[in-house]
Homo-oligomer: A and B are copies of this chain.
C-alpha cells in the first residue's frame, strides 16, 4: 500500500461567495470552461503528475461530488492500489463526531487515511483553482532542497500583492516570512495555496496545532507561520503558468473568459489532458441562422441564435434570434427565442424565457456587473433581470 506521495484535496465548505451557484452543490463541481468542473483541474493534475491517491475532504453537500468523482475512472484514478476517496467527517469509537473546523483540522482528522498509504510526502490542494501544474516537478524541487514544506508561488504585480498571501524569500529561495494580505508588500511572490509537506513533519505540526486552543486550525494562518517561527525549511516553488482562484462570481466569470484565449491556457494540449466526467450527448448542432464567434460550445448544445465571447457547457439550448454575449451557460440551461443574455452566469438547468433580457454590458466606465441566475432558476418570458442581480431558484418544500 506504500506510496511515496499522496494528495489531499480540500474541497472546502459551502463556498458562500458563489451564492446561488453553490446553494445546492459543493464548489468543486461548479461547471467551468464548457466541458469541465473546477475539481477536474487538480484531479487531472494529480493523475498527470503520477499521483494516484487523492483524498477529497468535504462536508458540504457531498452527494453530487461523490457521484461525480465515483471510482475516479474519468481521470484514470480507478487503480487497484489507490484511487480517489471522498473523506467526509465521521465518528470514532466512544467520541462524538466532529465537523472539520479548519483546513488543518480537516487533514488532522484524516491522519488515519493518510497513514494507510505510509507516504513520505503529502500534497495539499484546493478545490477552487484553475491551473495546470506538474506536482512531480514541484516534488523534485522539494526533495532537492531538502525542504520540510514547499509552497507554490506565483509572481504577481506588486500593486496587486496586497490581495494575496505573500512569501518573502532569502537569496536561495527559502521562505523566511509569510504575510497574509500585507499593506506594504515586500515581495511579489504570492502563495497559490498549494503545498507539499514532508509527512512526518506535517504530522507533528498537525498534532501540535490541534492541541492549541488559540489556533484557527488553518494552513495559512497557523501551520505555515508556526513552521517559519520554528525555522523549518520552507521552499518557494516558482510557478509561471496560468492560475486563477475562482472563489467569487467575478473571478469565476473572468477565468471562464480566459478560456477563450487559447494562448493563455492551452486545454487542447494532449500531453497534459484535463479530463472530466461527462454524459454521452450527441454532437452540438449549429442551426442555419446561428452565428458563433469566439466561443466555447459543448456536446448536446442546440444553437439557433447568436453566441459570442461566451462559454457554453453541454446540452444548452439557444433559441432562434436569441443573443448570448460575454456569458457562461452551464449544463442543460435553456435560452428561449429572442432572449438576450449579456455578462451573465446561468446555472445548471436554468430557464430563460423567450424575449427575456438578462444582464447588461458595462455602462460606460462603471465596473462590469455580472448577473447570476442560480441552478434551476427560471426567468419568465419577457422578464428583465437587471445587471448584478443574484437570482435563486425557488425552493421546493421538504
Contact = CB atoms under 8 A, between A and B. Distances in A.
Interface in A325-346: none
A61 interface: yes
Interface stretch (A84-92, A120-128, A289-297): A84-92
Sorting the interface of chain A by its residue count into under 10, 10 to 19, 20 to 34 or 35 or more gives 35 or more
A92 B111 CA distance: 25
Interface string A88-100: 1111110011010
Interface string A208-237: 000000000000000000000000000000
Interface in A73-92: 73, 78, 83, 85-92
A91 B398 contact: no
B63 A90 contact: yes
A113 B63 contact: yes
Nearest to A71: B71
Contacts of A398: 111, 203, 207
A80 to B, nearest CB: 9
A372 interface: no
Interface string A63-75: 1001100110100
A181 interface: no
A14 interface: yes
A112 interface: yes
